[in-house]
Copies of this chain bind each other. A is one copy, B any other.
Amino acid sequence: MSRIFVGLETSFVHDLPATLDQVQKDKMNGIAAPLFHPRYKRDDHELSDTRDGPQTRSDLVMDSRGWTTSVVGNISKWIDMDATTLETRLNAEKVFKQEVAWASHLSVPAVMLPTPRHATNSSNYARILNQTLTQAQYVQFWVRIPLTTRQQSSIKAPMEYDPVVGHHATIMMETHEEEDDDSSDPWEAWDSLRARCEYHPKLHVALEITADLPSAEEIQRWLGEPVKAAIIATNVFLTNRKGYPALSQRHQTLMAQLFQHKVQFYLSGRPRHRGKILPYVQYLHFLYSKRPSQDRKAQFEAPYLDYLQAPLQPLMDNLESQTYETFEQDAFKYNQYEKAITKALEQTPADKESVVMVVGAGRGPLVRCALRAAIGANRKIRMFAVEKNANAVITLRNLKISEKWDNVSIVASDMRSWRTNERADIMVSELLGSFGDNELSPECLDGAQNFLQESGISIPRVYTSFVTPVMSSKLWNEVKVHDLLKSFETPYVVRLHNFYALAPTQSCFQFTHPKLNSRIDNRRQAELHFTAAESAVVHGLAGYFDAVLYDDVTLSIEPDTHSDGMFSWFPIYFPLRQPLRVQKGEKVVVHFWRLESNNRVWYEWSVSSGDGKYHVPIHNPNGRSYWIGL
């Protein structure tokens, strides 16, 4: 059974092994604690080598397994890298780097960095952090950011939790000479810091959960950021009737959201409820146990969260048996197909034998749908199953025998080149990609519609792609791993998870079948105007589709209308080479083109600010990096 990580934030502890023992007794997994005693602040001018004694406890107090699994190092909060004088700044830099070096030496999994004091000007902090990140090996960097600035001070007194001294005896107040009186959006401070560090993949957020919570939209934005930890002060908890700690409904909702993002939780501050620290821990585990259990779709998707895949090229490449198998398991999808075919057959005269062609029959799931539909609608049908993949044709011919498909003819041909005098009343296909037309359904069906009756029906009848700008430094960094132009100009099929959509999706391209106008042109251009719900960074575009199979029978992966339980398609992600910063309420203009040459189809895309001043370069000119082969 899966568990959450709950840790304790403490002040400097003298006897670390004893503390960790106690923490484990309290059902917790580790601690976040300063690696250096704050007393060292006083003589920081000569910090490094002139003192006789060691500056902190030895790494020998624990074996390395203890350090690497159970301790997060809090970098001293008093370090002010943007202090007024150069000398203070240089000294702060020295102390900061010494603490990070010590943390690296200990191989702690992460260091917790202080909240930038100067929200709009943390330039020296950014520079030192950027230097450190550039040279970092294993350690992750968590910048501590409060959800709101109003109650920031309430959790600045970490718990004294040293078993040598005794439990929760006194509160070690750290003095804060300068409080940041900047009440601006804490996200801005984070954004300004990480942008200067070029969205470094080792730079994460440790969110301080405050008693006041920001708007749901702002919380949603945080879920698009690389949040690795959440710090919850004991005074954020309410008291239930029995005197135990509990969280408000809004906080519970937030926790449920954080549970989905594998966040570590750290309790902070003196216990203020019945039963010392344990009840807080138990309450968090209780909340986690209350979350709805994963459905089949969620289980299927779990390993694919934020995992980038190149889109299928089923026209150029043949699908593998395993791929067919996966898709055939999507009961929802084939139920919809069966419904659609049933409805279409019901429109035909009761005594008519309809010709049903399945174009791109694969291993036959749509053939089965049609056969079931004929029974459901009480109609006679004659079928053709057209398939270009010779391997799938072997399966189909075996199925014809084993399942007695007497009224089904298997046609081993590309639907674009098959020649026949037969004319279909109903043509059924499943050629849609995550972005609707991106597996060339339009081009394939244009060819196939030659053998559709004049009044014939195509299932699907119409499909539409949808787009929205998204923030996701996670995905942007996944693309950047290769640091190639080609990677940044390729769309990826991906179960988007750690992302924030700046606005509701908008429809992009639409295709209807059969096409009745004489001049068929599958090129498209779309200009979409979005309004950013919050200030954010556009790292790319999320793409979806929906389709009308027949009448009111639809499929959709568009978030607002997503078909329940359908798992055949993940969204598609079009990256941007350069992130584009936009302001709350600002227009974001997305341009999308679907273009073609003799043997290829490709997309080009770009994003601009609404005032026409800021543009990213147009991506993928001439399909130089990515195209779909015809």
Interface of A with B (CB < 8 Å)? Answer: 86-87, 89-90, 119-121, 123-124, 126-127, 130-131, 133-135, 188, 192, 195-198, 521, 523-525, 527, 535, 578, 581, 583, 591, 593, 604, 606, 608, 612-618, 621-622, 624
- Closest chain-B Cβ to A186's Cβ sits at a distance in Å of 13
- Closest chain-B Cβ to A521's Cβ sits at a distance in Å of 7
Q: Which of B535, B617, B621 contacts A131 (CB 8 A)?
A: B621
CA gap between A524 and B85 in the complex, in Å: 11
- Other than the known A121-B612, A127-B591, A535-B613, what 12 A-B pairs have Cβ atoms closer than 8 Å? A86-B521, A119-B612, A123-B608, A130-B621, A131-B621, A131-B622, A133-B621, A188-B612, A192-B612, A196-B606, A196-B608, A197-B617
Q: Is the CB of A614 within 8 A of B581?
A: yes
* Residues in B neighbouring A131, C-beta threshold 8 A: 604, 621-622
Closest to A134 in B: B621
Q: Which of B133, B578, B618 contacts A197 (CB 8 A)?
A: B618
Q: Which of B87, B127, B613, B622 contacts A581 (CB 8 A)?
A: B613
Q: Is the CB of B86 within 8 A of A525?
A: yes
Closest to A189 in B: B612
* Residues in B neighbouring A624, C-beta threshold 8 A: 134
4 closest Cβ pairs, A-B complex: A198-B617, A120-B612, A195-B615, A134-B621
Copies per assembly: 2
CA gap between A127 and B133 in the complex, in Å: 37
Which of A527, A618, A624 has most B Cβ within 10 Å?
A618
CA gap between A89 and B523 in the complex, in Å: 11
* Residues in B neighbouring A86, C-beta threshold 8 A: 521, 523-525
* Residues in B neighbouring A523, C-beta threshold 8 A: 86, 90
Once A127-B591, A527-B123 are accepted as A-B contacts, the answer to whether A196 and B89 lie under 8 Å apart by CB is: no
- Closest chain-B Cβ to A191's Cβ sits at a distance in Å of 8
Q: Is the CB of B578 within 8 A of A578?
A: yes
Closest to A127 in B: B618
CA gap between A319 and B133 in the complex, in Å: 37
CA gap between A121 and B197 in the complex, in Å: 33
* Residues in B neighbouring A521, C-beta threshold 8 A: 86-87, 90
* Residues in B neighbouring A134, C-beta threshold 8 A: 621-622, 624
* Residues in B neighbouring A583, C-beta threshold 8 A: 613
* Residues in B neighbouring A616, C-beta threshold 8 A: 196
Q: Is the CB of B525 within 8 A of A618?
A: no
CA gap between A89 and B527 in the complex, in Å: 14
- Closest chain-B Cβ to A589's Cβ sits at a distance in Å of 8
* Residues in B neighbouring A126, C-beta threshold 8 A: 606, 618
* Residues in B neighbouring A525, C-beta threshold 8 A: 86, 89, 124
Closest to A612 in B: B120
- Closest chain-B Cβ to A605's Cβ sits at a distance in Å of 10
- Closest chain-B Cβ to A96's Cβ sits at a distance in Å of 14
CA gap between A527 and B527 in the complex, in Å: 40
Closest to A184 in B: B612
* Residues in B neighbouring A617, C-beta threshold 8 A: 130, 195-198
Q: Is the CB of A192 within 8 A of B581?
A: no
Q: Is the CB of B196 within 8 A of A618?
A: yes
Closest to A86 in B: B525
Q: Is the CB of B90 within 8 A of A618?
A: no
